[in-house]
Structure 1
Amino acid sequence: DEQNLRKRYAESTIASEFSKIMDSMVQKNFIKFLLSQRQKKTPADAGKDLEEHQYNDLLKLSLQEKQGRNI
Structure 2
Amino acid sequence: MMMKTVLCLSVVLMLAACGGKSETAAEAQPPKQEANSPGEQVIQNREKAMNAAKSVEDMQKKQAEQIDEQAK
Structure label with greater radius of gyration: 1
